[in-house]
Amino acid sequence: MKLLPTVGRKATQKVVVADHDGVVTCFGMKKGEAVPVFKSLPGQKISRLELGGALGTPQEKIFVSSGSEVRGYTKKGKQFLTFEANLTESINAMHVSGADLFVCASYIYNHYCDCKDQDYYLSGDKINDVLCLPVETVGHIVPILACQDRVLRVLQGSDLQYHVEVPGPPTVLELLNRDGGKGGEEVLYGTADGKLGLVQITKSGPITSWELDNEKKKGGVLCIDTFDIVGDGVKDILVGRDDGTVEVYGLDSSNEPTLRFENVLSESVTSIQGGCVGKEMYDEVLTTTYTGWVSGLTTEPQQMVAGPGDEIKMSRETQGKVAALRYYTSELEQLQVKVLQGREKYQQSSQSSTAVSAVPVFSINDKFTLCQDDASYSLTLEVQTAIDNLLLQSDVPIDLLDVDKNSAVVSFSECDSESNGNFLLATYRCQANTTRLELKVRSIEGQYGTLQAYVTPRLQPKTCQVRQYQIKPLSLHQRTHAIDQDPMNTLRLTGQFSFAEIHSWIVFCLPEVPEKTPAGDSITFHFQNTFLGTQLEATYCKGEANFKSDNISTISILKDVLSKEATKRKINLNISYEVNEDSVSHTLRMIHPKLEYQLILAKKVQLIDALKELQVHEGNADFLIPEYRSILDESAQLLEEYKKQPAHLERLYGMITDLFIDKFKFKGQNVKTKVSQLLAILNNYELDSLMEFFSEA
């Protein structure tokens, strides 16, 4: 969705929307009603919509991409361009600047000038968005690619000039103030994990102006715009997120962003624009959502203040709104009657032996992403119609965590994990008109398989779609730009395997690795465990792979899984490893603060009921020592936190037990008989005694 620039005296702007049915719609608003300007014929799903035009003139030409084709429309709806980019994949990102067209498929970037091929670049990871610095300000073409591997790639022609490391996978790019700021070099970016940032793209290199963390754990950023909605002469930053949050950030005197307004919609925000659409003199924040709603948040006052004895008269405009509301209410009632009649007719015809029932088609917008803050996976499912129920099934042990935004009723079924490998069967029954569902799961590293979601919407006849999500062996690892050289254990594999084969094994083991085999002869990836903070470095090429990690368990999992994968393909592997004894105590020290915190939390929760009983018996809690009084005061928060982290303590015990077994497994010793002694030490936990047990065993 974009807003066309105003022309002449007309102060309100026209809205252009492109949808999944391939339709481009342009409309304006008059007296609170949408007045259509033009509507194109349906076709292939439209992936991007951008505005363009000759440099220095109003950007009022409409460009849309569908498949590998780019079409251009005038503001009146006349099609003036059809350009086939001849890409093997669909275009997922596009930018228009004067006569220059920049399009990207999954990994490929193409630059065309007057529809003639100019530059080409093959990215190392998926491209999520593309942008070009304003040519009229900078003086030359500077394309920027937002790539899934937490990098912004700045190009010069067909070559990489330099890359900018950002704190999360960037999903969207936008020029600050729509023109790149004073020098035309300032670019805003939003990430999949909800972070915002501003970076200056200079000739010599990047300068990071600011980064804004996602402290309140809101959704990922899907769209950004800049517009002076407050009216103070400084353009504000408008942000739309995938959990329906709409935010307005203002820049303070030191150019740091501060949140000014926030509104939450029930669906993910697919685009956001600032402008004047509904009424002259009153600016709006316009949004589109996944199911196709276009809504506006206006600056027009919605309430009038009247004192005692004041006579209140309805303005003509308000009277018109009331009349329109009555009309739409009656129309809605008529439509509801028609729907009921249609359902009854369907039920009657479905009983007939000759009737043919067609399965209704519906699309699901789903995301399965690792959250760094709490080392859990967030599964978001969004459907264009209301969800009736969701069935979750997993063949690996996983924990379901509580999500505040989730109002669905969950019920668990007993699973027979031994006979059929079914570890989880949970059903979510959704409330009426729920189109979006967010769940959180936490996996155990070393146990891998598939999580399946069966989505049933409120449609007739009943139909269901299945989505599958891979739980990988090292599922809690996340890509990072660099690692510290802590005490490292190493694993080396050699054998008759190709670069593509070893890469496919790494994709199977670790998240956030591009499926496409990297260009070149070798590649290095760095990872960090989001739960413990331990690190992993993977370097591999044809016939050889080297892994370094400060956690023995990570090396053990890689060794087991890669050996299995090689055996499946009948490839003989030569495996060598070096274990660093210091790495074990280093990992235990990293686990220590988490374990200590969970033990204290568990003890506090155990005391709450007894302390409440004492408080009731004595009439007050003044006689208790300050420590116990604070437990009573914070009891609600403590219980909530304990409830949010089921089996957290058992998870940490399991990690320490695995570390103990893996340490001696590499020495060729089986210490499973000593696990009971280890658990006894953990029940009376002290770091020194635990480290002593590890060294003496």
Q: pLDDT at residue 22 above 60?
A: yes
Angle at 12 between CA 7 and CA 16, to 5 degrees: 85
Give percent above pLDDT 70 in the chain. Answer: 95
Backbone angles phi and psi of 613, in degrees to 5: -65, -40
Residue 336 CA to residue 340 CA, distance in Å, equals 6
Q: pLDDT at residue 356 above 90?
A: no
Q: What is the mean pLDDT of residues 361-373?
A: 88
- Band the pLDDT of 332: cuts 50, 70, 90: confident
What string of DSSP letters covers 298-358? Answer: E-S-------TT------HHHHHHHHHHHHHHHHHHHHHHHHHHHHHHHHHHHTSSS--PP
Residue with more model confidence, 476 or 604: 476
pLDDT score recorded for residue 306: 61
pLDDT score recorded for residue 697: 66
Q: pLDDT at residue 132 above 80?
A: yes
Find out whether 490 and 161 touch, Cβ atoms under 8 Å: no
Helix (H) / strand (E) element for 147: namely strand 143-147
Residue with more model confidence, 671 or 153: 153
Q: pLDDT at residue 138 above 60?
A: yes
Q: pLDDT at residue 355 above 90?
A: no
Which among 620, 552, 584 has a CA at the least distance from the CA of 692?
584
Q: pLDDT at residue 642 above 90?
A: no
Q: pLDDT at residue 644 above 80?
A: no
**Each residue's pLDDT tens digit, 468-498:** 999 999 999 999 988 887 789 999 999 999 9
pLDDT score recorded for residue 119: 94
Q: What is the mean pLDDT of residues 290-304?
A: 82
Please name the residues in contact with 267: beta carbons below 8 A apart, sequence gap of 6 or more: 244, 289, 290, 291, 293, 382, 435, 436
Q: pLDDT at residue 507 above 90?
A: yes
**Each residue's pLDDT tens digit, 188-242:** 999 999 999 999 999 999 999 999 998 888 999 999 999 999 888 889 999 999 9
Which among 350, 450, 470, 325 has a CA at the least distance from the CA of 393?
450
Helix (H) / strand (E) element for 657: namely helix 648-665
**Each residue's pLDDT tens digit, 48-96:** 999 999 988 889 999 999 999 999 999 999 999 999 988 888 999 999 9
- Band the pLDDT of 258: cuts 50, 70, 90: very high
For CA atoms 681, 683, 688, 694, give the dihedral sign. positive
Which among 294, 283, 146, 280 has a CA at the least distance from the CA of 220?
146
Residue 404's DSSP bridge partners are none
Q: pLDDT at residue 9 above 60?
A: no
Residue with more model confidence, 391 or 340: 391
**Each residue's pLDDT tens digit, 524-581:** 999 999 988 999 999 999 999 999 999 999 999 999 999 999 999 899 999 999 998 8
pTM: 0.86
Q: pLDDT at residue 260 above 90?
A: yes
Structure tokens at 249: 């950030």
Q: How many CA atoms lie within 13 A of 182 on its CB side?
A: 1
pLDDT score recorded for residue 560: 94
User: Which of 166-180, 282-296, 549-563, 591-605 is least confident?
Assistant: 591-605
**Each residue's pLDDT tens digit, 203-215:** 999 999 999 998 8
Please name the residues in contact with 361: beta carbons below 8 A apart, sequence gap of 6 or more: none
Residue with more model confidence, 542 or 682: 542
One-letter amino acid of 139: G
Which among 267, 262, 261, 264 has a CA at the least distance from the CA of 242?
267
